[in-house]
A and B are shown apart, each in its own frame.
Chain A
Amino acid sequence: MNTQHSKKTRWAGRILTAAPVVLVIVDNILKLMRIPMVAEITKKIGYPDHIVVSVGVLGLVSLITYAVPRTAVLGAIILTGYLRDRQGSLLDDPLLSGAILPAFIGTILRQRFSKA
């Protein structure tokens, strides 16, 4: 990969990577703060209430794994399971499930750059 191309690729990768990271962070902070709205939605989808904290913690752990460059690939795989998890009963927010694709493309671009 030539250096001109790689700079663009690198930034595209960073932006694509940042999108799901920001989404999951915001989502999980809301979860861990136990905002009534989150509890209500969780209940509406049919999940037991006590699960909210576990889901929040799992989300943040996956995210950190993804955010650290050395473990990004592992993190992307774990996030895939997690985000699909959230999508769960097909009733959950499509916004988060949509975050999977940028997460993967972002990782691939970052990987390609690091190999170049």
Chain B
Amino acid sequence: MSTQQSKTTLWTGRILSAVPTLFMIVDSVFKLLRHPAVIEGTAKLGYPEHSILTIGILGLGSALLYAFPRTAVLGAILLTGYFGGAVATHVRVDDPLFSHILFPTYLGAMVWGGLYLRDERLRALLPIVR
């Protein structure tokens, strides 16, 4: 990373990345602990109860990969897929658009936005290849 990279940019990126990472870790841990609210929410969304563990493991794994700098890009890709599934889940039960269906999209934007600000190699790739 060049020294030109401003401290502000770097920290904005770190904070932006921290939000979805913490969200996913907390969310997944609640899933793994089988918190009653999670079980109820999952049933409402139409998933069988036994899928909670799998979803929790996949979410936590992706978030951890994203949290480690060396595997952050892979983690971001995996989280994108995970969020896609979450969007579909809300679409399926006809949830409101901006507060529910698009919520995972906001997290996804933070995942990539944070990484974009932290990593100049990603900036070289996105959004337009020169």
Residues of A within 8 A of B (CB): 45-48, 51, 69-74, 77, 80-90, 100, 104, 111, 114
List 23 A–B pairs whose Cβ atoms lie within 8 Å, in order of A's numbering. Answer: A46-B92, A47-B91, A48-B91, A51-B91, A70-B129, A71-B129, A72-B129, A73-B126, A74-B127, A74-B128, A77-B112, A80-B80, A81-B80, A81-B83, A81-B105, A82-B84, A84-B81, A84-B85, A85-B85, A87-B84, A89-B47, A104-B77, A114-B129
Q: Is B46 an interface residue, CB under 8 A from the partner?
A: yes
Among A51, A71, A73, A77, chain B packs the most CB atoms within 10 A around the CB of A77
Residues of A within 8 A of B92 (CB): 45-48, 88-89
* Cα(A46)–Cα(B88), bound, Å: 11
Contact partner, A89, options B80, B84, B88, B108, Cβ 8 Å: B88
Tell me whether A85 and B88 are in contact in the complex, defined as CB-CB below 8 angstroms, given that A77-B80, A80-B81 are known contacts.
Answer: yes
Q: How far is the CA of A73 from the CA of B129 in the complex (A)?
A: 8
Residues in A neighbouring B126, C-beta threshold 8 A: 73-74
Q: Interface SS of chain A: helix, strand, loop or mixed? A: helix
B88 and A88: CB pair below 8 A?
Answer: yes
Known A71-B127, A111-B125; judge A48-B94 contact (CB<8 A).
Answer: yes
B42 proximal to A (CB < 8 A): no
With A80-B80, A111-B129: A89-B89 Cβ-Cβ less than 8 Å: yes
Residues of chain B within 8 A of A87, CB atoms compared: 84-85, 88
Closest to A69 in B: B129
B94-115 contacts to A, CB under 8 A, are: 94, 105, 108, 112
B residues in contact with A51, CB < 8 Å: 91
Cβ-closest chain A residue relative to B130:
A70
Q: How many angstroms between the C-alpha atoms of A69 and B128 in the bound complex?
A: 9
